[in-house]
Structure 1
Amino acid sequence: MKLITVIRKTQPESRYTKKMGVLLTKVTYIKKAILGIPIKTLHSYRMTYYGEIKECRNCSLAK
């Protein structure tokens, strides 16, 4: 049994951008876990309609 693992999880979220307004997109989180308990988020990104991968820091969660 491994003590430290990396978990990748994709879930739909609503994001807000100035150009497009409210946007429903799939966001992927990469988290570090110790004994199956998530400890720290290492990276989060989203895929656009055109297939580009963008950072989640570029768009906010609220209006």
Structure 2
Amino acid sequence: MKFIHIKRNTVAEKRFTEKMGMLYTNVTYVKKAFLGIPLKTLHIYRKTYYGKVKSCEDCRIAH
């Protein structure tokens, strides 16, 4: 039985970028979990329309 595992979860979110303004995009969270309890988010990324993978550091979550 594995105690620590990595899980990916994709969520549709509303984001804001300087160049494009408000956009809805699928954001993937890569999380580390211990016995099914999430401990830490390792990486957050999103895929563009053209298939390019971008980090979510450049866009803020809109309020």
TM-score, length of structure 2 as denominator length: 0.94
Report sequence identity in percent.
Answer: 59
Provide TM-score, normalisation by structure 1: 0.94
Residues 1-63 of structure 1 mapped to structure 2, 5 A cutoff:
1-62=1-62
One-letter amino acid of the counterpart of residue 3, structure 1: F
**Total equivalences in the alignment:** 63
- Which structure 2 residue ranges, 5 or more long, are not aligned? none
- Kindly report structure 1 stretches of 4+ aligned residues shifted beyond 4 Å: none
Residue 19 of structure 1: how far off its partner (Å): 1.2
Query: What are structure 1's unaligned runs of at least 5 residues?
Result: none
Alignment partners' CA distance in 1, 2:62 and 2:15: 7
Q: Higher helix proportion, which one?
A: 1
